[in-house]
Amino acid sequence: MKDNFWRDLPRPFFILAPMEDVTDVVFRHVVSEAGRPDVFFTEFTNTESYCHPQGQQSVRGRLTYTEDEQPIVAHIWGDKPELFRQMSIGMAEEGFRGVDINMGCPVHNVAANGKGCGLIRRPEVAAELIQAAKAGGLPVSVKTRLGYTDVDEWRDWLTHLLQQDIVNLSIHLRTKKEMSKVDAHWELIPEIKKLRDEVASDTLLTINGDIPDRQTGMELVQKYGVDGGVMIGRGIFTNPFAFEKEHKEPNSKEMLDLLRLHLDLFDQYSTEDERRPFKPLRRFLRSISGGFEGQVN
């Protein structure tokens, strides 16, 4: 392994969750302006597209980053070990600091094809992907869920992942079946931590699910003894300042300043051949309007 930056992170560390069609270079810079996390992940990037001569162009925008975002980790998905090997080498050459494997995406056409959280039902393939992703010499981490159908699957599944010598395991504390329809199973954190200590004490644990801001994350860290990281996803749409150390209710000027920045960066990183996705901008606009409504009320 060339450089395990994870060891040098503060404890706890905070990560902006990878989100499809959201966490591109533009959105990450807006979040960084509001309140920077310790680690950035890219959007989901398909290994098959990256490794196909005609597909590389389609994923180039997903892998665009700037040096001031470091440490940044390439978040990749698929199910073919050889492509993971090729892509991990490419990610090292492109300057990424790590590779994170998606084993938690619950979208039907991904999971049903044995990818994303579909790998929970293909543990041997999951292990092969992890080993293949180490070919580039970057630290390899995994993002997953507790199980596919039942919460009780967590012990066998997480044990299997922890046995693969990964640097960090990010766990969305729900199953694929639960999606985000039920409360995250925070109560399992102590048991998961105990399992980690028994199986792979050097692997960091990052918790994810129903964590709207840094303050809630710190409460969970203190309550459950989390000694790794906290990942925030959807909470960033409610409050772009979610990573600020002190709770912040942004005023209208601050929200408008972020909107202007988003629009400027959207133009800056868009070209004729590569338009930035509109979804992050739409969601950010909804966040802005919600903030204004709260101030009016």
Catalytic residues: 105
CB atoms within 10 A of CB 112: 10
Cα radius of gyration rounded to whole Å, the chain: 18
CB atoms within 10 A of CB 234: 16
> Is 29 marked as binding a ligand?
no
Structural element, H or E, at residue 74: strand 72-77
Torsion of CA 21, 229, 240, 66, to 10 degrees: -60
> Is 233 marked as binding a ligand?
yes
Is the Cβ–Cβ distance between 145 and 175 less than 8 Å?
yes
Enumerate the β-bridge partners of residue 232: 16
> Is 143 marked as binding a ligand?
yes
Cα–Cα distance list, 196 to 46, 155, 168, 201, 296 (Å) = 29, 10, 11, 6, 47
User: DSSP alpha helices (H): ranges in the chain?
Assistant: 25-34, 47-51, 56-59, 81-93, 108-111, 123-133, 154-162, 189-199, 214-224, 235-238, 252-268, 279-296
Is the Cβ–Cβ distance between 169 and 206 less than 8 Å?
yes
Task: Quote the CA–CA distance of 258 and 81 in Å, as a whole number.
Answer: 40
Distance, CA of 228 to chain centre: 15
> Is 229 marked as binding a ligand?
no
Known binding-site residue numbers:
143, 172, 233-234
Known binding-site residue numbers for FMN:
143, 172, 233-234
